[in-house]
Amino acid sequence: MGDAAVLDPDRVVEAAADLRSVLPSARRMFAENPAGCRMVIVFALLGLVQALREGNPGEREAALREIGAATSGYEEDEVLRGVPGEMRPYRLRSQRRLATLLRDGGDLDGALEAATAARDEALLIEPGRHGLGLDEEAAVSEGLLISVLERAGRTEETLEAGERLVRYEEVLTARDPGQGELGNACLDHGLRLLSAGRTEEGAGHLRRAVEAYRVQTGDEVRFNLALAADRLGVTLARGGEPEEGLAFMREAVAAQRAMESPGPDEIEALAWSLRNMAVCLGGLDRDDDAVESGRESLEQFRRLAGLDPRWFDEVVSGERLQAEFLAAAGRLEEALELGERSIAEEGERLAKDPGRSRMSLAESRIRQGLRLERLGRPDEGHLSGAMEIYRQAVAAGPGDGLYDDLVRTAGRQAVSLEGVADRYRGRPEYGERLVEVLEVLERAHVLDGNEEDAARVRAERLSSAQA
C-alpha cells in the first residue's frame, strides 16, 4: 500500500474499523492458545496502532499496552524455541511508541516506565539476530529515555543516560564514521553538562562534537558544528582561555557562512556567534576587530527584525554594545551618534507601544550619559532619565512587567549602575544622587543573587547617607 493510500482519512477509518472487527477473534484465539496465536494478536494490534497513528491516543495507548502484555509471559517451550527473541522487535518498538505517546501527552511517570522498559529490552538483543543491532537499538532507546528524564527535570539521571548514549555512538561511529550520531550525542550532552555547572566536562564533550562534525558535510552538520564551536568558544573565553575560545568562535562563524540555504534560524545563529566573537575580541583589546564583528552582528539582527518585530530588542542591545565597541576603539563621536539614534528609535517604539518595557531604554541612556562624561560633555538628562525608570521598576514590585525585566537583567543593570556610582563617588555635590544610585544598585545585586556585593553597596549607602 502506498503512502497516499495509508494517509487517506477514509482509508484510515476503514482500516481501523476492519482491525477492530477482527480483534475479538484474535483475542479469543490467543487466550485459548497463547503459544500458537501470539503472532496473530500482536500483528492485529500493530495494524490498529498504525491505522490510528494520527489520532485516538487513548485507543493507541491501550493497543500498545496490550502488545506489551502479549509479548511477555512466554511458555517454556517458546523460550526454548527462541520466541522471545523473535518477538523482541515488536515488543521493543511498541514500548518506544508507548513512551513517546505518554511523554507527548504529559504522563511523564508512565513515559519513564515505558522508556526504561524499552532501554532494558534493547540490552537483551543478541547481536546479528532478528534484524536488530544491540548498539543501534540501545542508542535509540537511550535517546528516548533522555528526552523523558529531561522533561521530568531529573538532571542527574539525564546526565548518566547521556554518558551511556555517547558510549553507544562511539561504537557505532567506529564502525561507520559517516553514519554515526556521535557529534549530536556529544553536543547535546555537552550543553546539558554546561547547564548543570560541570563546565570542564561540558567543554570536553563540545570539543569532541566539533571534531565529529568536521568530517561530515551538509547544512545540518554545519549548523550543529557552528553551535558546538560557538558554545565551546564562549566557555573557553569565560574560563580564561580567550585566544583558543576565539579560534572556535571563528570556526563557528565560518561554518554558518558556508551554509547553502540559510533561513531565520541560521541568521539568528550567525548573529549571536558574531556578537560573542565581538565581545571576545573586545576583551582581548582588538577593538577594531570587535567593531567589525559587532557591525556584522547588528546587521543580522536587523535582518531578523525585518522578518519579526520581536527581534527589535536585540537590535537595541546590539546598538548599545556596538556603541561601546566604537568608544573603546577611540571612535567616540560615532559611538555617541549611534547611541543617540538608538535612544531615539527606542523612544519611538515606546510611543507606539506603551506596554513595551523601558528597562532597555534606561540601560541605553546610562551608557550614553557615561560616554558623554568621558568626552567632557556631562549630560545629567540621560542619567536622571534612566534613574527615574529604575526607581519606577523597584517601586512597582513583583508581577509588574518593568520590575520583572529588572529581575531578568539585574546582573547587567548592576554593571551599568556601578558606572554611574563611580561618576558620583568622591564628589560631595552629588552626595544625594550617589545615595539614590546606591539604593537601586543594592537592589539589583540582591535580585541577581549577589549578596556579597549587595552588602558592600548597602554599607556604602548607609555611610554616604550619614555624610
Q: Domain containing 215 — which CATH number?
A: 1.25.40.10
Q: Are 216 and 178 in contact (CB under 8 A)?
A: yes
Of 410, 373, 368, 405, the residue nearest 386 (C-alpha) = 368
- What separation in angstroms does the CA of 76 have from each of 27, 92, 120, 354, 423? 21, 21, 22, 75, 85
Residue with the bigger pLDDT between 215 and 144: it is 144
Q: Please report, rounded to a whole number, the percentage of residues in the chain having pLDDT higher than 70.
A: 94
Using the predicted structure, report yes or no on whether residue 15 has a pLDDT greater than 70: no
In a domain, 197, yes or no: yes
Q: Are 326 and 338 in contact (CB under 8 A)?
A: yes
Q: How far apart are CA 82 and CA 51, in angstroms?
A: 29
Amino acid at 250: R
Q: Identify the pLDDT of residue 2.
A: 38
Q: How far apart are CA 169 and CA 292, in angstroms?
A: 40
Query: Which residues, 6 or more positions from 436, have their beta carbon under 8 angstroms from its beta carbon?
Result: 387, 391
Sign of the Cα torsion 47, 51, 54, 55 reads: negative
Query: Which residues, 6 or more positions from 1, have their beta carbon under 8 angstroms from its beta carbon?
Result: none
The reply to whether the predicted model has a pTM over 0.95 is: no
Q: How far apart are CA 119 and CA 360, in angstroms?
A: 48
Q: Identify the pLDDT of residue 459.
A: 94
Weakest-pLDDT range from 3-7, 177-181, 430-434: 3-7
**Residue 14 pLDDT grade (very low, low, confident, very high; cuts 50, 70, 90):** low
Domain assignment of residue 193, given as a range: 180-257
Of 277, 208, 217, the residue nearest 246 (C-alpha) = 277
Q: Identify the pLDDT of residue 242.
A: 96
In a domain, 273, yes or no: no
In a domain, 209, yes or no: yes
Grid cell 515488536 in the structure block, residue: 90
Q: What is the mean pLDDT of residues 118-143?
A: 88
Weakest-pLDDT range from 61-65, 328-332, 381-385: 381-385
Q: What is the mean pLDDT of residues 286-312?
A: 94
Q: Identify the pLDDT of residue 201.
A: 97
Q: Identify the pLDDT of residue 467.
A: 65
In a domain, 228, yes or no: yes
Q: Identify the pLDDT of residue 23.
A: 86
Q: How far apart are CA 276 and CA 270, in angstroms?
A: 10
What mean pLDDT is reported for the chain?
A: 89
In a domain, 37, yes or no: no
In a domain, 202, yes or no: yes
Q: Identify the pLDDT of residue 179.
A: 66
In a domain, 436, yes or no: no
Residue with the bigger pLDDT between 44 and 130: it is 44
Which run of H or E residues covers position 433?
Answer: helix 431-447
In a domain, 302, yes or no: no
Q: What is the mean pLDDT of residues 118-130?
A: 85
Count of structural domains within the chain: 1
Q: How far apart are CA 176 and CA 182, in angstroms?
A: 11
Q: Are 97 and 114 in contact (CB under 8 A)?
A: no
Q: Identify the pLDDT of residue 5.
A: 36
Q: Which of 129-143, 157-171, 352-366, 401-415 has the highest average model confidence (pLDDT)?
A: 157-171
Q: Residue 259 carries which DSSP code?
A: -
